[in-house]
A and B are shown apart, each in its own frame.
Chain A
Amino acid sequence: MGCISESGFLTLGQLAASGARHTMSDTPTIAIVDDDEAVRTATASLVRSLGYAARTYASALDFLQDGQGACPDCLITDVQMPGMTGVELQERLRAEGSTLPVIVVTAFPSEAMRQRALASGACAVLEKPFGGDVMVRSLQSVLEGGPLS
C-alpha cells in the first residue's frame, strides 16, 4: 500500500501532501465518521447510491488509526461524539498539514461552532437531518471542483 511509510504508519498529513488520491480505483472514497450507527449506515447508503465508495468509522480515533482506508477523497464527520469531536478531528488534520476536504454535519448547529469549523477549512457545515440534495451538491463540489456551498 502506497500509504504505508517506513515506520508502517503514515500520517494523514503526509498522505495528503503526497497527493495520494484515487489509490484504490477511480471511484472516489468517502470516509464517514458518526457515533450513531443508524446515521452512519444511512449516510453510507446515500453516498454509495451516488456512485462513491464509502468507509464508516464509529469515532474520530477509529478513523485516525485506520491505516488502510485512511486515504479518502472526502471526510464526512458528525460533531457531537464521545472522545474527540468532529471539529477537533478536522483541526487535528489541518494541524498535521492535511488538505483532505471535510464536510461537517451536526444536530446542534450553533453559529460559534459553524465559524470554528469553517475557520479550520471545512468545505460545508450541514444540519441534521440533511436533505439528500444538499449532501449531493456538497460532495460534487468537493470532488469535482464545483463551487462550495
Chain B
Amino acid sequence: MAETPDAAPSRIAAVAIALAVFLIDVATPLEGAVAVLYVVVVLIAARAFSRGGVILASGACLGLTIAAYLISHDPEAFGSPLLRCLVSLAAIGITTALALRHKADAAVLAEQARLLDLTHDAVFVRDRHDVITFWNRAAEEFYGLSAAEVIGRVAHEVLQTVFPTDRAVILTELHRTGRWEGELVQRVRSGRAVVVESRWALQRDAAGAPLAVLETNTDVTERKRTYAQLVASERRYRTIFDNTRVSILQQDWSAVKADLDRLRAEGVRDVAAYAAAHPDFLARARRNVVIVDVNSVTVRMLRAPDRESLLGPLDDLLPEADPTFPLSLAALANGERFFEGETQVRTHDGGSVPVLFGVSFPADPADLGCVLVHALDITERKEAAEALLTVQADLAHAARVSTMGELTATMAHEINQPLAAVVTNGEAALRWLRRPAPDLGEATDALGRVVTNGRRAGEIVARIRGFLAKSPPRHESLDLAEMIGEAAQLLERELARHAVILRQENEPGLPRVRGDRLQLQQVVVNLMVNGIQAMAAIRDRPRVLTVRTSRQEDGPVRVDVADTGEGIRPEALERVFQPFYTTKSNGMGMGLAICRSTVEAHGGRLWVSDAGPGAVFHVLLPVD
C-alpha cells in the first residue's frame, strides 16, 4: 500500500506523543489511566505505518505502559494502579486490533478501486440524488473530465444524457430488478455526442433502500456507425440484387474447393483437361456447387414458379454438354477472381436460354460459400445474329443465282452469234452447191466460214468455263480458327438441342488462308451440321463433335471435323460427295457435293475417312 504523503510528520508526531505520554505516566503521580492515551499513538500509526509498523508501534506502546508502571509502582502491590495499567493495555490492544482490521478493509477497497481504474469502460458511482461520488480513470479519459471536476455534480446534467425512454420508466425498472441496460447518448467535454452501451447496478443499504448506482458505460459510437454502414451496404446490395435487370445467383462453391485442393495436392495442374477425362469428378463438382439464392429476374428468366424451386445443385441448371463449367473450375483452381462465358441454361419448363454470364470468386477461399454469378439472357441478341447470318447466306445465294442468270444470258448471246453464222453459212453452202450450176467457190467460202465460226463458238465456251473455274468471287485473308469459332456460335443452339459436346482444338500460330469467307464458313457449318445429325441416334456414348485445325508438314492448313456418330461404310466414302447422294429423308444430297466444289475452287481438297466410331471430314486449304 502506497504511503500517504503526510506519513513522515505523522510518524514524528506518533513518536513524540508516545514519549510525552510515557514521561507523564512515569513522572506524574496522576491517579488516572494516562497510558490509555497511547491509543492516540496507535491510531496515528495506523494511518502512517504499514501493518508491521502498526504492530511494532502497538508493541512499543504496550512496553512503555508496562515500563512506566514498573518504574513508578511497586510491582508486588496489587491495587488500583495495576488495574489502571491493565485497562490501558486492554485499550491499546483492542485499538490495535480494530486499526489493523480497518487497515485490511481499506486495502481491499483500494484494490477494488484500482481495478475499476484498470477497466476500459467508463465507470462511475452516483448516489440517490444522482450526484457523482466515484469516477474512474477510463471515465476521465473517455469524457475528458477529471474526477475532481465531476464528483459532487449531478451525472445526467454533466453528461447531458439522452435516455432511450422516459427516465422514470428506467428508474422503475432499476428499483424493481436492481439492474438496467440500454443505450444512452451523452456528450463529452468537447461537446461531441457519443453513444454508450450503459449498464446500471443498484446498491441498497441494509434496510433495502436505494443507496447508490454503479454505472458502467462502453463506447459503441464507432460500432454503431460501422453497423449503420453495414446495414446501408446490405440494403444497397439487396436493392441491386432485387431490382437489377441482370439475373444474379448466389452459389456455394466451398465443397468444390475442397475437391480442387485435393487435385492440386495430387499434382493435377490442368483442371479442365482432368474434368474432361474424369466424368465422375465433373458430375460431382456440378452437384457440389449449390445455388443458395436467386433474384426475381432469375426466376423470370428461368420461367420458374418461385425462388425456392431454383435453389439446389447447379447440375439441375446446366445442360449435360455445357462446356463452360470445367473452365470455371480451372479458373477457380488457378486463383482467378473472375470467369465469364456464354452457355445455355435449362429453364424450369424444360426449355433452354442462352446466357452471357460472369462468376466472381471471393478473394478469401473461406468466403466461397457466397460466390456471385450474374447472367444475362441473350436470346434476342442470338436470334438477331442468327437472322443476320441467315440473311447474309440468302443474299449470297441470291447473288450467286443472279450471277448465274447473267452468265447464262451472256453465254447465250456470245454463243448464239457464231452458231447463227454456222447455220446460215451451212444453208448458203448447200444452196450454192444445189444450184443448176453449182458455184463451188461460193460454197467453199461459206464452208470456210462454217469452220471459222464453229471454232469461234468453241473458244467462247472454253473462255466461259475458264471464267467459272477461276471464280471464288471474293478473296480475302482468313483466320480459320476465328471462322470456326463463328460457325460454332452459329450452331450453339443446334449443339445444345442435340446434346452434343463441341471441342475446338486449334494449333497455335496457324497461318491464314485465302478465300471467300462466306463460302468457306458454309463449308465448315455444313460439315458440322452433318456431324451433329450423324450422332442423333447415338445413345450409348457421348456425342462429341471435334473441330481441329493443324498445319500440314508440306504447307496447307488442315481442318478435321470428327463426330462420334454412325460412321460411313467404306464403299460409301466417295459416294457421299456425289450430287443427290443422301441418307436423310428430306435431304437434297447437294451439301457435300457443293462443299467439295467450293473447297476445290479454293485450290483445296475435301475427303472423308471412317474413324470408328464416327466419321472425320478433312479439309485442306492452301495458306495465304
Interface residue ranges, A against B (CB under 8 Å): 36, 38-39, 41-43, 45-46, 48-50, 80, 107-108, 128-132, 135
Contacts and interface: CB of A to CB of B under 8 A. Distances in A.
Contacts of A43: 424
9 contacts: A39-B420, A42-B449, A43-B424, A46-B425, A46-B428, A48-B428, A80-B413, A108-B413, A129-B416
Given A50-B431, A129-B423, A38 B456 contact: yes
B435 interface: yes
B418 interface: yes
Contacts of B431: 46, 49-50, 132
B445 interface: yes
Given A49-B431, A49-B442, A107 B412 contact: yes
Given A38-B456, A45-B445, A50-B431, A107 B423 contact: no
A107 B409 CA distance: 11
Contacts of A129: 416, 419-424
Interface of B: 412-413, 416-432, 435, 439, 442, 445-446, 449, 452-453, 456
Contacts of A41: 421, 425, 449
A80 B422 CA distance: 19
Contacts of A36: 417, 420-421
A38 B418 contact: yes
Given A42-B421, A128-B420, A135-B427, 17 more contacts: A39-B421, A42-B422, A42-B424, A42-B428, A42-B453, A43-B424, A45-B424, A45-B425, A45-B429, A45-B446, A46-B431, A49-B446, A107-B412, A107-B413, A107-B416, A107-B417, A107-B420
A14 B348 CA distance: 92
Contacts of A46: 424-425, 427-428, 431
A49 B433 CA distance: 9
Contacts of B416: 107, 128-129
Nearest to A41: B449
Counting chain B CB atoms within 10 Å of each CB, which of A42, A46, A132 scores highest?
A42
B224 to A, nearest CB: 94
Candidate in B427, B430, B453, B456 with the most chain A CB atoms within 10 angstroms: B427
A58 B419 CA distance: 19
Nearest to B446: A45
B435 A49 contact: yes
Nearest to B417: A36
Contacts of A45: 424-425, 428-429, 432, 442, 445-446, 449
A43 B446 CA distance: 10
- Rank and list the top 4 A-B pairs by shortest CB-CB distance, nearest first: A132-B427, A129-B420, A49-B431, A42-B424
A132 B430 CA distance: 9
Contacts of A80: 413
B428 A49 contact: yes
B233 to A, nearest CB: 80
Given A45-B446, A107-B412, A38 B453 contact: yes
Nearest to A40: B421
Contacts, number: 84
A39 B457 CA distance: 13
B421 to A, nearest CB: 4
Contact of A38 (B430, B432, B449): B449
A38 B416 CA distance: 11
A38 B452 contact: yes
At the interface, is chain B mostly helix, strand, loop or mixed?
Answer: helix
Nearest to A49: B431
Given A49-B432, A107-B412, A39 B427 contact: no
Contacts of B432: 45, 49
Contacts of B429: 45
Contacts of B424: 39, 42-43, 45-46, 129-130, 132, 135
A39 B430 CA distance: 17
B420 A42 contact: yes
Contacts of A131: 423, 427
A49 B422 CA distance: 16
Nearest to B430: A132
A128 B145 CA distance: 123
A105 to B, nearest CB: 8
A46 B412 CA distance: 23
Contacts of B445: 45
Query: Which has the most chain A C-beta neighbours within 10 Å: B422, B424, B427, B432?
Result: B424
B446 A38 contact: no
A43 B435 CA distance: 17
Nearest to B421: A38
A42 B429 CA distance: 9
B417 A42 contact: no
B296 to A, nearest CB: 67
Nearest to A37: B421
B417 to A, nearest CB: 5
A107 B416 CA distance: 7
Given A36-B417, A39-B421, A42-B420, A48 B452 contact: no
Contacts of B446: 42, 45, 49
Nearest to A45: B428
A42 B448 CA distance: 11
Q: Which of B412, B416, B430, B439 has the most CB of A within 10 A?
A: B416
Nearest to B422: A129
A43 to B, nearest CB: 6
Nearest to A38: B421
B444 to A, nearest CB: 11
A36 B425 CA distance: 14
Given A49-B435, A49-B442, A39 B428 contact: no
A48 to B, nearest CB: 7
Contacts of A49: 428, 431-432, 435, 439, 442, 446
Contacts of B427: 46, 131-132, 135
- The residue in A43, A48, A129, A132 that gathers the most chain B C-beta atoms within 10 A of its C-beta is A129
A77 to B, nearest CB: 14
Contacts of A107: 412-413, 416-417, 420
A43 B420 CA distance: 9
B499 to A, nearest CB: 56
A45 B426 CA distance: 10
B408 to A, nearest CB: 12
Contacts of B421: 36, 38-39, 41-42, 129
A76 to B, nearest CB: 11
Contacts of B449: 38, 41-42, 45
A48 B422 contact: no
Contacts of B420: 36, 39, 42, 107, 128-130
Given A49-B435, A132-B427, A38 B417 contact: yes
Contacts of A108: 412-413
| Residue with the greatest number of chain B CB neighbours at <10 A, chosen from A41, A45, A50, A80 | A45
A42 B432 CA distance: 12
A136 to B, nearest CB: 8
